[in-house]
Amino acid sequence: MRAVVTRVTSASVHVEEQLVAAIGRGLLVLVGVAADDVGNDAVVLGRKIEGLRIFADEMGAMNRSVTDVGGAVLLVSQFTLLGDARHGRRPSFIAAAQPTVGRKLYERLAAELIAAGVPLQTGTFGASMAVASVNDGPVTILLDTGKVF
């Protein structure tokens, strides 16, 4: 599973001009599921997101997690994170999971975050979404359960 984690002061998702999710301070997490991902990838990624220390402490050092600061997570599915544009100009999405597998692991990741006590909002899996965010910092971290960044 691959994720782009952005620290935000606010973020929201609209589907067909209807607000479906919104958070204040926290993390906007765009997540893509790879064809070879399994349930443990959702567990590992959930733990990493929940414990990721990218919020400032009283000394200004990035030493606090989203739960430490009372923040929330807005989780948005984005299969295009698995796009491979190394060859030619049109990305290949062959590495992305099929929608049924992707949905299952996306929902598992959401369940892991909820179980960890993270206030969670989600986009609509498979929908065309308008995602808005006010980036804080900006601080953006790339996570991938299959690679070392």
Q: Of 6, 67, 78, 121, which one is the catalytic site residue?
A: 78
Query: CA angle, 126 as apex, 121 and 130 as ends, to 5°?
Result: 60
Percent of the chain with pLDDT over 90: 97
Is 78 a known active-site residue? yes
Q: Report residue 112's pLDDT band, with 50, 70 and 90 as the boundaries.
A: very high
**Of the ranges 1-5, 95-99, 114-118, 144-148, which one carries the lowest mean pLDDT score?**
144-148
Active-site entry in 55, 67, 79, 121: 79
Residue 80 bears catalytic tag: yes
**φ, ψ of residue 105 in degrees (nearest 5):** -75, -35
Q: Is 55 labeled as catalytic in the residue annotation?
A: no
All domains in the chain, ordered by first residue: 2-144 (3.50.80.10)
**Cα separation of 106 and 51, whole Å?**
18
Q: How far apart are CA 62 and CA 65, in angstroms?
A: 9
